[in-house]
Chains A and B, each alone.
Chain A
Amino acid sequence: MDSYTAPESTPRQSASSRVKDYFIGATPLQKRLESARKLTSFVPTPSRRKIPQCSQLQEDAELQKVAFLLHKQWSLYSLTPLYKFSYTNLKEYSKLLSAFIAAEKQKGLAVEVGEDFNIKVIFSALLGMKGTQRDPEAFLVQILSKSQLPSENGEGKVLWTGWFCCIFGDSLLETVSEDFTCLPLFLANGAETNTAIIGTWFQKTFDCYFSPLAISAFNLSWMAAMWTACKMDRYMATTEFLWSVPCSPQSLDISYAIHPEDAKALWDSVHKTPGEVTQEEVDLFMDCLYSHFYRHFKIHLSATRLVRVSTSVASAHTDGKIKILCHKYLVGVLAYLTELAIFQIE
């Protein structure tokens, strides 16, 4: 019957002409709608990404400043843009947040035995944590316990640290109006209760929203390839992968450790274009590992789920935990995480 043969060309043409109208003179809102529409349609993920560059933080002073960021396990969250946040009001924010935390703790919501209720909150700017000049400055929030003894003039123990940053966040910065500050990546280290309280305060004060950033197995394999591609003078840790086998009743974990120089040698044999990583190279790199494992153990690792990747540059877990080990590639690692955070926000 003729009614069943639908005309193929007409729906397609009208859809594409509607889309083209949005490109001209788009306001930020229209740009956001356009990017949202793009994501639901067939747009390939970036098939190539730059290998993290060795960063310029060579001076000792700067190294000291970021040293406390390394070798700590950070929980990752993505954060929507902050409304009317100002870098000049950091002292005020510290006072407000201390008051808020003290009030919350007295309410009995987060009572721990023997905890020192005299805490101090410090907001400080983290200079240099940005990818391009357009990126907003990163800032740091720390909860310190005030020392009881007046003779001690030290700062007190750091109980909780959290920092907000944005590295190469151009795709988000374009779509947002001026009242908003875009710092999509939030990293927290310390007690979960503190993270929750601080999250609530930020959400109430700046009308933003936190959500935990999980890293999929697909992105973990990209991280493994990109970090193995980084040139290192000396390797501090073995390259290690952890897979979780979905089998009942208990799940099985497979751990695969490689000498970092062997991993780099494998990567070099796979790598073609200098300075960039492509999807094919990542797949080939992982396939080599899988087939090597299969040859020895007759287990198809490709049927399991990659849960953790650990290299000398950084280590990442699928639950959204990251530990950065090398200061040279700090910015590079954060750039990829920022990309994932922005993707989650959108």
Chain B
Amino acid sequence: MLKEDCASTLKVHLAQSLPLPSNVNRPRIDLIVFVVNLHSKYSLQNVEESLHHVDATFFLGKVGFLATGAGQDNHCSIHRNTVLRLAHTYRSPLFFCDLEVEGFRATMAQRLVRMLQICAGHVPGVSALNLLSLMRSSENPFLEDV
């Protein structure tokens, strides 16, 4: 993501789990992306626990889920529908991206940077909440049954 061209300064903070230590001065967080590795149940459990530490206001468009590893089906310990349900419960967008593949990684980075720009308020006329409802309406219509 840091390779992408962006008008303002882009800072990425990586963390294994939340909550982040509170004694450090850090700039405002605009977007949280939870990465779930479909090969490892542990990563899902980690994400589920970290979600409890996120303030409710973030879920209005400033949280996203990224599921990686769907390309290798026999390595998957988590069913695709589990992450779909998780994303649906938290009303946040879910992206599938095999982070091992260079091309997919670059495309995903572009999408995330664009999303970040909107969440930070740098794109006039679109807010994070607008983006969220826009993405929701194009999602699978069958989600409503669950």
Binding site for B on A (CB under 8 A): 1, 4-8, 11-12, 15-16, 41-45, 214-218, 221, 246, 286, 290, 300, 302-306, 318
Contact = CB atoms under 8 A, between A and B. Distances in A.
B141 A217 contact: no
Given A4-B130, A43-B142, A44-B146, A305 B77 contact: yes
Contacts of A302: 40-42, 45, 77
Contacts of A15: 141
Interface of B: 39-43, 45, 73-79, 81, 84, 125-126, 130, 133-134, 136-138, 140-146
Secondary structure call for the B interface? helix
B134 A4 contact: yes
Closest 8 CB pairs of A and B: A303-B42, A302-B41, A214-B74, A302-B42, A12-B141, A217-B77, A8-B137, A15-B141
A5 B130 contact: yes
Given A42-B84, A42-B142, A304-B40, A216 B75 contact: yes
Contacts of A1: 125-126
B81 A45 contact: yes
A211 to B, nearest CB: 12
- Of B41, B130, B142, most buried by chain A (CB within 10 Å of CB) is B41
Given A11-B137, A12-B137, A303-B40, A44 B81 contact: yes
A216 to B, nearest CB: 5
A221 B74 CA distance: 12
A8 B42 contact: no
Contacts of A215: 74
A16 B141 contact: yes
Query: Which of A8, A217, A286 has the most C-beta atoms of chain B within 10 angstroms of its own C-beta?
Result: A217
Contacts of B130: 4-5
Given A1-B125, A4-B134, A305-B77, 9 more contacts: A4-B130, A6-B133, A217-B75, A217-B77, A286-B41, A290-B41, A302-B40, A303-B40, A303-B41
A306 B130 CA distance: 42
Contact of A217 (B45, B74, B134, B143): B74
Contacts of A304: 40
A41 B140 contact: yes
Nearest to B78: A218
27 contacts: A4-B130, A5-B133, A6-B134, A6-B138, A7-B137, A11-B141, A12-B144, A16-B142, A41-B141, A41-B142, A42-B81, A43-B142, A44-B81, A45-B79, A216-B73, A217-B39, A217-B74, A217-B75, A218-B76, A218-B77, A218-B79, A290-B41, A302-B41, A302-B42, A303-B40, A305-B40, A305-B75
